[in-house]
Amino acid sequence: MFGQVLATEFMKLHRSKAPWATLAVLAMMPLGIALFMWIVREPGRAAQLGLLGTKANLAGLEAAWPEYFYMLTLIFGIGGMLLLAFIVAYLFGREYSDATAKNMLALPVGRHWFAVAKLLVAAAWWMTLVVIVIVEAMAIGLAMELPGFSMGLAATGIVHVLLAAGISFLLAPVVAWIAVWSRGEVAPIAFSLVMLALGNLFGKTGWAEWFPYSIVPLLVGMVADPVDTLPAGSYAVLAGTFAVGVAATILQLRFADNAQ
Amino acid sequence: MPDTAISTRALVKRYRGITAVDALDFDVRRGEIYGFLGRNGAGKTTTIRMLLGLIRPSGGEITVLGRRIRSGEATVFSRIGFLVETATSYPNLTVRENLDIQRRLTGSAPRSVADSIGLLRLGPYANRRAGQLSLGNKQRLALARALLHSPELLLLDEPANGLDPAGIVEIRELLRSLADERGVTVFMSSHILAEVAHLADRIGIVHDGRLIEESSRDELAAKARAFAAGAYTPEERELALLTLDLERYFLARTGEGPKSGDA
């Protein structure tokens, strides 16, 4: 039966504009980085661009592959937290905004399967975006002939991007729970924005390794220099956050009032 | 097999101090059409939501098709079709795709999609997106979903919502035939007296969350007639007859009802 639940969750995305919208947003990111790189590489033209040129120079960027991968990791980590929040809020929350949750929850299927299937759809959706945009980013970087490319650097860079994208996903089930608890899409997205701000704040303190929403900014170098490896405690915190999010979503679907 | 399809005992639902359903006891027999009549806010939808396990009772017990309903109950829903309040579907999917989702999740045969489309006369709209349907056709789609897996029990909350008079008559006949020919039990809530009076074998009147009366349709009709004899003015009785005549005339003109003199 779980196979059918999973299949129907994919079917629900048929003709939806949301996957295309998320792809468009994420696909813009490498183009934005490439624009910065181009401005840094062409200081004469950068000066003609005024504020944008100044900001690019202030960022202290070098137009080279290591910096390019650094920026990509940042985008997949931070952007991922927000974009995944949108994806998960859409998958769980729209059952309430479209008032279809009542149809879904009174079927001869355990409610936990819907939570698991939706999270798997979110994971597939997110990983598809990540893979497409990594390919796009590589193509852009190669087309720009950025210096400093090596297969080893590319492999390490891609692993970092995938790690940032994967860790972002561990925070998604809490967003799912907020969507089910609030019966909509607005609260989970607002929650994610607040947590991103708090994550930044805690990231500048000694608690950064222990606060789940600071760990991704810490990994990708948003709050300090990026770290190569996270402490084991951070992985435990992320795993715990994931487990609590999944359990809370299932318990909410199973035991809370699901009125609309 | 027990003779009772639905049984509630001392059923209570409170929301932040407001009692929506108050010590509700009723039984619905297998194969009957039970009309659950009440004003807006009487507790009809809350009761149906509790029967479906969508909300948890604050107290009391519910048994449906011999099974105690608890939060997260799933097994019994393979035998129940339902329509709760507003008819909703996935708006980006077609009628056929919406029904295919129901088919997969109820483990029904592939043929059941076409059958339910035919039963509810949704053929011309089968490939139209649910979000583009009229209110009446959305209601038909919701009923098609409720009937798709050939349930033993139908829980219908305001099933005539959004339907035109011809549609109301059609659904009425469909429900009657399901009860008479297939032995399907129908529990339907409504605030429209005529809808319940036409269809239900027994009628329960709920008010402020309490069942204040329960009778067979004939008993209730007799009580209503006796009450009306003293309570209505001749003008009010004339208006009631006019309404009935208008309904018949409309159905005849639109090709759905009896011709002049048939009735």
Q: Which of B71, B76, B106, B154 to mutate to test the interface with A (most CBs of A within 10 A)?
A: B71
- How far apart CA A104 and CA B89 sit, in angstroms, is 10
Q: What pLDDT is stored for residue B219 in this prediction? A: 87
Sheet holding B210-216, edge to edge: B80-83, B153-157, B185-190, B33-38, B202-207, B210-216
All domains of chain B in start order, with CATH = 4-254 (3.40.50.300)
Nearest to A16 among B77, B92, B104 (CB): B92
Q: In chain A, what residues touch B77 (CB-CB under 8 Å)?
A: 106-108
B32-51 pLDDT tens trace: 999 998 888 899 999 999 99
Q: Tell me the residue type at B96.
A: R
Dihedral angle over CA of A210, A212, A214, A215, nearest 10: 80
Q: CB contact, 8 Å: A21 with chain B? A: no
**Residue-by-residue pLDDT tens, chain B, 263 positions:** 568 999 999 999 998 889 999 999 999 999 999 999 888 889 999 999 999 999 999 999 999 999 999 877 788 999 999 999 888 999 999 999 999 999 999 999 999 999 999 999 999 999 999 999 998 899 999 999 999 999 999 999 988 888 888 888 888 888 999 999 889 999 999 887 778 888 899 999 999 999 998 999 888 878 877 777 777 777 877 777 777 777 677 667 666 555 554 44
Judged on CB neighbours under 10 Å (0-12, 13-18, 19+), B238 is exposed
User: What total of structural domains would you count in chain A?
Assistant: 1
Query: What does the DSSP assignment read for B170-215?
Result: HHHHHHHHHHHHH--EEEEEES-HHHHHHH-SEEEEEETTEEEEEE
With respect to residue A260, please indicate whether it lies within any of the assigned structural domains.
no
Q: What pLDDT is stored for residue A204 in this prediction? A: 80
With respect to residue A51, please indicate whether it lies within any of the assigned structural domains.
no
Are the CB atoms for A68 and A151 separated by under 8 Å?
no
How many interchain CB pairs under 8 A, A with B? 82
Q: What pLDDT is stored for residue A61 in this prediction? A: 72
Q: What pLDDT is stored for residue A60 in this prediction? A: 66
Q: CB contact, 8 Å: A144 with chain B? A: no
With respect to residue A220, please indicate whether it lies within any of the assigned structural domains.
yes
**DSSP β-bridge partners for residue B24:** B11
With respect to residue A26, please indicate whether it lies within any of the assigned structural domains.
yes
Q: What pLDDT is stored for residue B262 in this prediction? A: 45
Judged on CB neighbours under 10 Å (0-12, 13-18, 19+), A56 is buried
Task: Give the structural domain span for A119.
Answer: 2-31+63-255
Q: CB contact, 8 Å: B96 with chain A? A: no
List the one residue out of B92, B223, B37 whose CA is nearest residue A19. B92
User: Which residues, given as ranges, of chain A have pLDDT below 70?
Assistant: 46, 49-60, 222-228, 260
With respect to residue A53, please indicate whether it lies within any of the assigned structural domains.
no
With respect to residue A41, please indicate whether it lies within any of the assigned structural domains.
no
Are the CB atoms for B11 and B62 separated by under 8 Å?
yes
Phi then psi dihedrals of residue A67, to 5 deg: -70, -35
Q: What pLDDT is stored for residue A55 in this prediction? A: 54
With respect to residue A18, please indicate whether it lies within any of the assigned structural domains.
yes
Q: What pLDDT is stored for residue A54 in this prediction? A: 55
Q: Which of B50, B70, B90 to mutate to test the interface with A (most CBs of A within 10 A)?
A: B90
Are the CB atoms for B3 and B20 separated by under 8 Å?
no
Please tell me the pTM assigned to this model. 0.88
With respect to residue A43, please indicate whether it lies within any of the assigned structural domains.
no
**DSSP β-bridge partners for residue A216:** none
Are the CB atoms for B146 and B83 separated by under 8 Å?
yes
Beta strands at B153-157 and B185-190: parallel, antiparallel or unpaired: parallel
- How far apart CA B42 and CA B19 sit, in angstroms, is 10
